Structure 1
Amino acid sequence: MSLNKPNQQLRRDLTGSASDLKWSAVELMRIAERLSLAGNEPDAWALLKMCQVLQAAEEKLAGYADEVRDGRIVRERAE
């Protein structure tokens, strides 16, 4: 199924935001690792919890992008 321009843009926006969240989670995990190595376990755990939230949001957005691709979510043109 070919997507119209509004749906292509929606899918692109969703996948872009999902990628941004994934990148942010990876960077925060690196920071958490450094905090842990420095002995700051409470802050490291707090960052890991944030990573879990970001990863869950990334998965949701990626799922929505798949639904747009499959035609289950449709953006209509504004009149």
Structure 2
Amino acid sequence: MAMVYSRNRPQKERINEHFAPDQQTRYLEVLDAAKRVYGGDIDAAKHWMSRPLKAFGGKAPDAMVTTSLETDTVIEFIRRLEHGFVA
């Protein structure tokens, strides 16, 4: 499978080409937010993004980049994690 590289991104942050261009952008937005939670650790952020969460009805955060609404839901969840407001 070919990989898509975003300009100014480390090779480790590559994205599978099965994402449409708008989904690639949303994926990177979620990845950046998740990296903040994990102190910049990309491996930990990607691992978290790949795990299904009850908060998202059993969907993994990286599967929630298909729409802006789902992506916004993940970003808001991450913001709540950063501020200690998860319920």
TM-score > 0.5 by shorter chain: no
What range is the shorter-chain TM-score in?
A: 0.3 to 0.5
Name the one with the larger helix percent. 1
- Which structure is richer in relative contact order (CA contacts within 8 A, separation 6 or more)? 1
Bigger strand fraction: 2
Name the TM-score, length of structure 2 as normaliser.
0.32
The TM-score, its normalising length taken from structure 1, stands at: 0.34
